Amino acid sequence: MTSSRRGEDSSSFDQSVLADTLGYTFKTPELLRRALTHASATGRGSTADYERLEFLGDRVLGLLVADMLLRRFPEATEGELAKRHAWLVSREALAEVADGLDLGAHLIVARGETNNGLQSNPAVLADACEAVIAALYLDGGLEAARGLISGHWAPLIELARTPPRDPKTALQEWVQARGLALPDYRVLEQEGPDHEPLFTIEVTVAGNNPVTGKGRSKRIAEQEAAEKLLAHLAGGGAAS
């Protein structure tokens, strides 16, 4: 595994190993360096980290995945395509791809964060993966981004032979089928710094005790809570 590059400036940034993995050589290496720079390494209010690129990468990924799905499933309904799309652009899918690319070994984080697990945190890896997609797009256009996405998302598309249901959707369908009120999600706690929060969220369904989930985003925490509640419901008893 490549050693981590923590706190380096652009003059010392070596993109060669990751460029080989990506199958793309950047004309502007600064773009890749920024895509791998965590907010902890730049300070509050800075725009030199990957957050702006993450915003763009999310949109590029969404477009190219939608195009792949239309071509791969010509008979699928809009609803089926939407379910597949939601999974393929999720943090879970992004973190899986990032892990395969070994992005964590290339992340630039503050020296004080080197022992806090940032470089293996799924939410951080997912964000960095979106930023790398944006960097590819800005440096080489849609085709550069498509090269990464087609190579690493095509296997994920083939793994899901039927449109997946995320836990929140499955729980909502469960209560609607029984004429119950929709699940109620409530934030119980937010811990950690602004750039790396940890949410604890509670979900309640009528007739069942509340269940909690944790995650680096509200969505991830809600999904975990819904999944745990579904597991209790599948066991035939009220959640505890």
| Catalytic center residues | 58, 130
Looking at residue 68, the DSSP 8-state letter turns out to be: H
- Amino acid letter, residue 227: E
Can you state the angle between helices 51-72 and 122-159, rounded to 10 degrees? Answer: 10
Q: 211-215 and 184-191 as β-strands: parallel, antiparallel, unpaired? A: unpaired
For residue 144, what is the enclosing H or E element? Answer: helix 122-159
Cα dihedral across residues 64, 160, 93, 29: positive or negative: negative
Partnered with residue 213 across adjacent β-strands are 201
| Pick from 32, 34, 31, 28: nearest CA to 49 | 34
Q: 211-215 and 198-204 as β-strands: parallel, antiparallel, unpaired? A: antiparallel
**DSSP one-letter string for 89-136:** TSHHHHHHHHHHHTGGGG-B--GGGTTTTGGG-HHHHHHHHHHHHHHH
Rg (CA), the chain: 20
Looking at residue 189, the DSSP 8-state letter turns out to be: E
Q: How many CB atoms lie within 10 A of CB 129?
A: 27
Separation between Cα atoms, residue 223 and residue 203, nearest integer Å: 10
